[in-house]
Structure 1
Amino acid sequence: MNEIGKGSPRPIRSVYGEGCIAAHALDLLGDRWALLVIRELMLGAKRFQLVRAGLPGISASVLTQRLEGLEEGGILRRVILPDPAGVQVYELTELGKAVRPVIDALCRFGVRLPGHDPKKFISPTALMLSMAAMVDRKAAKEVEVAAGFDMGRESFRGELENGRWEVERGAAEGDVVFAGSANTLAGVVYGAHPLAHWLGSGTVTFRGDPATGQRFLDLFRLTGRAGT
């Protein structure tokens, strides 16, 4: 891939005027939408329109501003994919990838706050990252399953490794494969109904052994204790 505009990160404009290193980080990450833009790139590079598809509340102009600011801060970079694609995408730098524990911690903190509405829009990447944060790591150490998720414009493959859900963007492949919209699959993963309820619903497609699929789904709960 060819990198565009390669150079050293620019000094971050101080918003809070403090020497606190947390405040220094928030000078860059505290802008509205900034963390969610990073979230959308956490599992792989994306074109502008695909980033925006994961953030339906953002305007094109604001997204452009956030991408430019994060690029100036060394969080992401623009690259041109090799032919035959030959298109520009945005991808996180190593510094940008280091934001992952912050997003994981926000997931675990957010689930403890009242008022969460799981019926609101959730992006495919957001669902995958929430699963990584909310997996029951103790129980997951006893399970070895590779799983794929096909959500239309985005698909993912991952597996349980040492109690963690390790996932990346790519072809939906694995011992079990789930297909549907992100919001529907969020209901499959976190909802009260077992997998059998969804198999005849017409909204979810499943490949693999249903018992294995259910065992996999049982590892994920929207509770304050998950991820421990």
Structure 2
Amino acid sequence: MTDSPLARWERHNGVVLAVASLLYLASYAIRVLGHGLPNVVRDLCLAVTFAAWAVFLVDYAVRLRLSGQRLHRFLRTHWLDTVVLLLPLLRPVRIVQAYETVQRHHDQPRLALHARVITYAGVSVTLLGFAGSLALYQQEHAAPGADIVTYGDSVWFTCTTLSTVGYGDLAPVTPLGRLVSVGVMACGLALLGAVTGTFSSWLLQVFAREGERPPESSESSSGASRHDGD
């Protein structure tokens, strides 16, 4: 394990970023779904949202400083971090990394690779689906001629899109709603590919181990033949 300043920073701030991601998602959800809440509650949620985003910004700036790279090179090698900073609704996936951070900090054994990929994909699709349904509902529910007018409609559309089923019974009508839908489609395809590839790799390893194992029936029959000959 490397012990550079950047590695130490990333090793010790995972839980903080995960908590900030949860707070960001929770405050955003309350603002989107809490139509009848008092203004003071909505303003408090907005303050929490900006505070959480400030934590993300500080983390990005510190990692840029500790990397020792120029800005253009850092943007090229950490483009996903830049996208997540500009689209904070993708940030709750950081919660997935909290388990890894805690386990490494305490030198505890982690799950096997295949189990980790499937677990992380499941958690990621849940968080991304929730964030995507919130963003879609916020853009669509009040639009003229909208199909997605309730949060239940938004959840249904997000689930069918993430699962790559796409019944077509609901469709976004606003430009931002369609942009969110494209992102949900891309995430669904990527996560489905990751899970499918990992499961296929695990099956191949199982079959390979079974192929290397000598068949017990042949061994027992040959042993019995030798015994009869004696």
> TM above 0.5, one fold?
no
More helix by share: 2
More strand by share: 1
Question: For the superposition of Structure 1 and Structure 2, which TM-score range results when normalised by the shorter chain?
Answer: 0.3 to 0.5
Question: Could you state the TM-score of these two structures normalised by the residue count of structure 2?
Answer: 0.34
Larger radius of gyration: 2
